Amino acid sequence: MLLRDIFGNPFRPATLDPAWLTSTVVALAEGIYQERAFDRMPILADAIQDAGCDNADILSHCRSESTHVRGCWVIDLLTGRK
């Protein structure tokens, strides 16, 4: 669902732990945004998890096969756009 990709779950807003913002995570998120390479979202999920993220909403969103677009709440959260 496109709205869920942009806004996430309004009943469970995700918070960002700055420790997750490793150079790898930020570079992947920025590359996905700039190149519209949303097929890399599962790779981003692995990188965020390696950085210590255990937020099920973030990880499952990145690994979902739903359509992702610019404005994706996870990408915006990781790149500081939201």
- Reading the chain (82 residues) residue by residue, the pLDDT tens digits are 444 444 555 556 678 899 999 999 999 999 999 999 999 999 999 999 999 999 999 999 999 988 888 888 899 999 998 6
28 within a domain of the structure (yes/no): yes
- For residue 18, what pLDDT is reported? 94
Q: What is the pTM of this model?
A: 0.84
Closest CA to 55 of 23, 24, 9: 9
44 within a domain of the structure (yes/no): yes
Cβ(65)–Cβ(38) under 8 Å? no
Token code pair at residue 82: 């939201």
Q: How many domains does the chain have?
A: 1
37 within a domain of the structure (yes/no): yes
8 within a domain of the structure (yes/no): no
| pLDDT tens figures, 38-61 | 999 999 999 999 999 999 999 999
10 within a domain of the structure (yes/no): no
Domain that holds residue 63: 20-79
48 within a domain of the structure (yes/no): yes
11 within a domain of the structure (yes/no): no
35 within a domain of the structure (yes/no): yes
- For residue 36, what pLDDT is reported? 94
| Interaxial angle between packed helices 41-50 and 56-63, expressed in degrees from 0 to 180 and rounded to the nearest 10 | 150
